[in-house]
Structures are given as structure tokens and as C-alpha cells.
Chains A and B, each alone.
Chain A
């Protein structure tokens, strides 16, 4: 099973600032990586798939990059609605596995 490691566990950012979240796979997952956003009491929401393809309706301030084992989600200018937990998921191998999440909180 591929282990996904996210860092940092918590990221404190002021509104309007840039947030950079990292996700590392224990082995090569090519570009088969997705990012999700989860707010308290809600199901996750798909942000990015294919490492860099924004899902329908996702604002351009969300950018995914990377391939192989190292991936990044960048939120260019944090809005109030962006404070949440973010998960990465590889789907290159079965079972698909998720990282433990990065909590983006208001600084």
C-alpha cells in the first residue's frame, strides 16, 4: 500500500496570503493524484485531479503541481471560505490511499 504523507499538519495563514501544501508518496504514483477540501461536518470536495486539473467550479486560485512522488497544492490568495482541511489521494495503485490532511487555519 502506498503511504501518502502531507506536510505541514497545520498551516496558519492570514487571509489574502498564499498557502503551499505538500504531499509525498512512498512510491511513484505518476500524475495520478487528487486533492480534496473538507470543512467541519461536511464531506470532502474534489479540488484537483490528475495532479493539476481543476475540478468543475473550482476557482483558479487553487493550483496543483508535481508528479512522481512529490506534489503541491497552492492557494494563491486565501479567502475566508478556504480555511479547511486538505487531503491528497493517490489513485495510481489499488487501494487508493489518502494523506492525513493539512489543516489550514486563520493566523
Chain B
């Protein structure tokens, strides 16, 4: 299983950050896993943005919920992230990741993409 993030590396403040994750080696539509976006601020810890199942609704971190959209395109084996109204505080390394569900929660992450650094700056 491989996950590969792509998208603009530089986003202007107040604009929308858009990233795509291409999934290979497993069919998203097969179920059994959740698909996540997690970010890591430079030199800092990790923060959940949200996750989505192959057929269910997305779940977002309440701290970001008003600005985030996560969606799946199972035919293209892609997961998308949109984060609106960004500021410098959104500068981070963004990871796409697969997790093993625990109940209705995202569970533990067993596969990570390489991550893509997105800088918010004018």
C-alpha cells in the first residue's frame, strides 16, 4: 500500500489549501479502513485534521471543522483535503494516512504517505 500526497506547496493567506492523496496497492472501495489527513507543524507534534471511510461521512477535528472538507473519489483512488481561509498557523507538513478503525473513531495509523510541506505566506 502506498499513499502519495500532491498539491501546491505555497498558499496565500485567506485562500484555500487543496491537497490530493493518491492511493495505490489497495482499493479504497473495499472498506475496512479509514482514510485520514494529519498534519505536523514544523518541529512539533502531530494533529488530526479528519478522516473518512470508504462509504461514510467525514469526521473532522472540532478545532478545524468550520474550515475543512475531506472527500473520496473511489474510482480514482484519491482522497482530497480542502482547508479554507488559511493563515500562517496552517503552515505544516500534511500527511495522508490509512488507519484501522476503532469503533467509530479513526483508530491507529498503519500506513503513512511521505507528507507534503505546505507553506502559507504572501
Contacts and interface: CB of A to CB of B under 8 A. Distances in A.
Interface of A: 1, 32, 34, 36, 42-46, 49-50, 55, 87, 89, 91-101
Interface residues of B, number: 24
A76 B108 CA distance: 23
Nearest to B112: A43
Contacts of B113: 43
Contacts of A45: 112
B46 A44 contact: yes
Contacts of B73: none
A92 B109 contact: no
B114 to A, nearest CB: 6
A43 B102 CA distance: 22
Contact of B45 (A34, A55, A87, A94): A87
Contacts of A99: 45
Interface string B99-122: 110101111111011110000000
B107 to A, nearest CB: 5
B48 A97 contact: yes
Interface in B74-97: 95
Contacts of B100: 49
A45 B111 CA distance: 8
A93 B112 contact: no
21 contacts: A1-B62, A32-B102, A34-B108, A42-B114, A43-B95, A44-B109, A46-B109, A49-B107, A50-B108, A87-B45, A89-B108, A89-B109, A91-B107, A92-B102, A92-B105, A95-B61, A96-B48, A96-B106, A98-B46, A98-B47, A100-B45
A49 B106 contact: no
A32 B44 CA distance: 23
A32 B100 CA distance: 12
